[in-house]
């Protein structure tokens, strides 16, 4: 029976903004009884042990489920497994052998697509694992991956995991310099990249950026996928073509027997300082949480086509465009290009073409597509969609309702998943078979996890009281284990606000209703979410100050209609430099060059003076208030209160309460 047009959710007759799963959804869903929350909370450690046994194939079972030595914790201690075995080998032994694992759609609609079955994926992963070995990569070595959205990226990640190498994926739109900083910190030996890729029809010469990125790093070998065939510089003895190495690679590579607590990957992310931190995830716990959250949050079934639009360079790409759904034996869709290329309906055309059933994206994309007009999605039959997901930033009500009505046809739940690079997989969201689905409200913590909202003193807050979101023991198995090579920073970053027993998320939140549904209100630190991409204001400041014109600068996040937030920069210039549109563009260009286009400031505001305390510290609180049209508050402690008046005028400040 076709499921198209089935009503999966129904409106609450009493509470206007609540939606609940329909009988059809409850019947279909893996979980539909809300008792699981209570059951899981009785003994979360045993609960996770049960899930770990059911979802993952272990070579050897663990001796101890959970060990907590605050602030450190471990899961499934002594357990042995390999995540690539779980993502490919176990499926080729079943009927899924010939099932599509990856459907790849190129940016240009005129190029052929590629479909890899589980057996294709198995073969390629085995072969590439042997290639890595032949290049000298051993268990525990770090491998950099700097690639566009092509199937070789999943192959490379799974091949690393197969031999126990730790991958560190760097977003392909990051600059060569950003790549270099990360490769230096990771001390990577090998880099996997591509000659280039298309973005809005334009050729991006990725290899050129990669060449700049490996300068001065320990990288000895570079493997290059020929995606475009553009002219690239290949260094003899260092650079190799992927397809040439694969030609002679043997077909079988035994998966390494990994300990549950062996590192699986490092993913760099922004913190409050300019230096990105290497978030370290370990094998067993990550596998368990990635597997179950994929299955339950998205109600993932064998017949589904799961499209997570996130780039692989971010945690969402790692967990939901690779490990999670593949461990479930699901079919994933991977699209190389921009959402609106060559026409604004490209995404909807892809949904229709492949009959996508689960669609997971970011509020920024939803707002952008909403702005392009309803006529674009309306041109396509989107009735294959059963579940919609969102992630990365708080979603506003207007975007939620548009997504719900226009994309989901009012039939599909919206799963608003709150999580972080640090948490490895989703942690707070409503489940499709349980609900409720409430615009702007994420939902309840995943069964078996433990969250609270605290005030500054650490008191638990009740319904409607805004505070800080924290997690308590037992910490979800997929949580980061440390910051690579920097356990002190790990302690300081997450375990100093409320002590070593409470994980501090840096997010503001409140409990929305008596059910305990949680509404997120945004970061409370200097991390911005720009079009869903995580960046710190300090990184942008560091980049700007490399321009010779700048004496001082301060970057803050300003609200933006589509991107959610954008960086804006207040700068003071050296004598001899004058504010001008050219200089503004040059400064923006400096940031693009040093970090990447994602970090480009939306506005540069030239000022004579920045508001400072008597000890000479820039008062960012005031700049933030100015950028957001919020009340400025007390300025009496400033050394130069008159600077604020001048700034108000420049920025066009209008206070709104």
The contact set with ligand WTA (CB under 6 A) reads 269, 314-316, 391-394, 416-421, 442, 505-507, 520, 523, 529, 534
Q: Which residues of 328-337 are buried (b: 16+ CB within 10 A; e: fewer)?
A: bbbbbbbbbb
Pick between residue 173 and residue 520 the one whose CB is nearest to ligand WTA: 520
Residue nearest to ligand WTA (CB): 421
Shortest Å, Cβ 363 to ligand WTA: 8
- Shortest distance, position 421 Cβ to ligand WTA, whole Å: 3
Rank residues 5 and 496 by Cβ distance to ligand WTA and give the closer one. Answer: 496
State both tokens at 125.
Answer: 């992963």
Q: How far is the CB of 507 from ligand WTA (least distance, A)?
A: 5
Question: For residues 223 and 441, which CB has a smaller minimum distance to ligand WTA in the complex?
Answer: 441
Nearest approach, Cβ of residue 416 and ligand WTA (Å): 5
Smaller CB separation from ligand WTA, 262 or 507? 507
Residue 482 CB, nearest distance to ligand WTA (Å)? 16
Concatenated DSSP letters of 109-170: TTS--EEEEHHHHHHHHHHHHHHHHHTT--TT-EEEEE--SSHHHHHHHHHHHHHTPEEEE-
The three-class DSSP label of residue 579 is: coil
CA dist list (Å): 312 to 14, 132, 150, 412: 41, 20, 10, 26
- In angstroms, give the least distance from the CB of 391 to ligand WTA: 5
Distance separating alpha carbons of residues 300 and 356, to the nearest angstrom: 12
Residue 270 beta carbon to ligand WTA: minimum distance, rounded to whole angstroms:
8
What's the min distance (Å) between Cβ of 394 and ligand WTA?
4
Report residue 509 CA to chain centroid gap: 20
Q: Shortest gap between Cβ of 271 and ligand WTA (angstroms)?
A: 10
Minimum CB separation from ligand WTA for residue 556, in Å?
16
Residue 376 or 400 with smaller CB distance to ligand WTA? 400
When the beta carbons of 126 and 429 are compared against ligand WTA, the nearer one is 429
CA gap 553, 605 in Å, rounded: 10
Q: Shortest distance, CB of residue 127 to ligand WTA, whole angstroms?
A: 32
Cα gap 378→407, rounded to integer Å: 9
Contacts 24+ apart (CB under 8 A), 184-188: 184/216, 184/217, 184/218, 185/268, 185/276, 185/278, 185/484, 185/485, 186/142, 186/144, 186/266, 186/278, 186/484, 187/142, 187/218, 188/141, 188/142, 188/143, 188/144, 188/217, 188/218, 188/219
Q: 587: which strand partners?
A: none
Task: For residues 144 and 157, give the distance between their C-alpha atoms in angstroms, rounded to a whole number.
Answer: 10
Q: Tell me phi and psi for residue 502, to 5 degrees.
A: -130, 120
User: Which CB sits closer to ligand WTA, 421 or 430?
Assistant: 421
- Which C-beta is closer to ligand WTA: that of 391 or that of 555? 391
Q: Cα dist. 61→8, 80, 496, 576 in Å?
A: 38, 7, 34, 69
Select 314 or 376, whichever has its Cβ closest to ligand WTA: 314
Token duo for residue 531: 């079009």
Rounded Cα–Cα distance for residues 213 and 211 (Å): 5
**Considering beta carbons, is residue 217 or 316 the nearer one to ligand WTA?**
316
Q: Please, are residues 484 and 551 in contact by the beta-carbon 8 Å criterion?
A: no
**CB nearer to ligand WTA: pick between 106 and 424:** 424
């Amino acid at each position: 029976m076709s499921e198209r047009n089935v009503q999966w959710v129904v409106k609450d007759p009493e509470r206007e903004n609540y939606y609940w799963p329909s009988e059809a959804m409850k019947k279909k869903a893996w979980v539909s009884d809300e008792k699981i929350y209570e059951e899981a909370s009785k003994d979360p450690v045993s609960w996770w042990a049960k899930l770990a046994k059911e979802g993952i194939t272990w070579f050897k079972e663990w001796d101890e489920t959970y060990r907590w030595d605050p602030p450190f914790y471990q899961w499934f201690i002594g357990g042995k497994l390999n995540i690539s075995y779980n993502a490919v080998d176990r499926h080729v032994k079943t009927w899924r052998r010939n099932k599509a694992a990856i459907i790849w759609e190129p940016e240009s609609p005129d190029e052929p697509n590629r479909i890899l079955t589980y057996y294709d994926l198995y073969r390629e992963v085995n072969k590439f694992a042997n290639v890595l070995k032949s290049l000298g990569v051993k268990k525990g070595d770090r491998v950099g991956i700097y690639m566009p959205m092509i199937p070789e990226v999943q192959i490379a990640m799974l091949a690393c995991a197969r031999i126990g190498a730790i991958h560190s994926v760097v977003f392909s739109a990051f600059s060569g310099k950003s790549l270099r900083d990360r490769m230096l910190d990771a001390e990577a030996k090998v880099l996997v990249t591509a000659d280039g890729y298309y973005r809005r029809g334009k050729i991006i010469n990725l290899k050129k950026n990669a060449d700049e990125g490996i300068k001065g790093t320990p990288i000895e070998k570079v493997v290059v996928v020929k995606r475009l065939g553009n002219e690239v510089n290949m260094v003899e003895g260092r650079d190799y073509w992927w397809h040439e190495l694969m030609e002679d690679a043997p077909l079988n590579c035994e998966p390494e027997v990994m300990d549950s607590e062996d590192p699986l990957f490092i993913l760099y992310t922004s913190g409050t300082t300019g230096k990105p931190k290497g978030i370290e995830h370990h094998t067993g716990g990550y596998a368990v949480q990635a597997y179950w959250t994929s299955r339950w949050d998205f109600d993932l079934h064998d017949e589904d086509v799961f499209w997570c639009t996130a780039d692989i360079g971010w945690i969402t790409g790692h967990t939901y465009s690779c490990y999670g759904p593949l461990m479930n034996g699901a079919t994933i869709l991977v699209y190389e290009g921009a959402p609106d290329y060559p026409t604004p309906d490209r995404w909807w055309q892809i949904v229709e073409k492949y009959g996508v059933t689960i669609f997971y994206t970011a509020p920024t994309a939803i707002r952008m597509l909403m702005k392009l007009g309803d006529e674009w999605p309306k041109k396509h039959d989107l009735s294959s969609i059963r579940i919609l997901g969102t992630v990365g930033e708080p979603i506003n009500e207007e975007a939620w309702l548009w997504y719900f009505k226009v994309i989901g046809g009012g039939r599909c739940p919206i799963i608003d998943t709150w999580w972080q690079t640090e948490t490895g997989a989703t942690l707070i969201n409503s489940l499709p078979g349980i609900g409720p689905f409430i615009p702007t409200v994420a939902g309840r913590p995943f069964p078996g996890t433990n969250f609270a909202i605290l005030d500054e003193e650490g008191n638990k807050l009740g319904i409607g009281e805004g505070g800080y979101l924290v997690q308590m023991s037992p910490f979800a198995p997929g949580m980061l284990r440390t910051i690579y090579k920097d356990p002190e920073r790990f302690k300081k970053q997450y375990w100093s606000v409320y002590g070593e027993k409470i994980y501090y998320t840096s997010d503001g939140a409140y409990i929305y209703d008596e059910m305990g549904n949680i509404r997120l209100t945004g970061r409370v630190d200097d991390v911005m979410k720009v079009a869903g991409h995580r960046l710190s204001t300090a990184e942008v400041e560091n980049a700007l100050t490399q321009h010779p014109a700048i004496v001082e600068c301060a970057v803050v996040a300003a609200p933006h209609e589509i991107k959610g937030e954008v960086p804006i920069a207040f700068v003071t210039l050296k004598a001899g430099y004058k504010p001008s549109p050219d200089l503004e563009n040059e400064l923006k260009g400096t940031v693009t060059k040093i970090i990447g286009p994602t970090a480009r400031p939306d506005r540069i505001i030239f000022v004579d003076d920045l508001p400072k305390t008597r000890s000479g510290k820039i008062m960012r609180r005031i700049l933030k208030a100015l950028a957001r049209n919020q009340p400025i508050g007390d300025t009496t402690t400033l050394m130069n209160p008159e600077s604020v008046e001048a700034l108000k005028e420049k920025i066009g400040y209008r206070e709104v309460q």
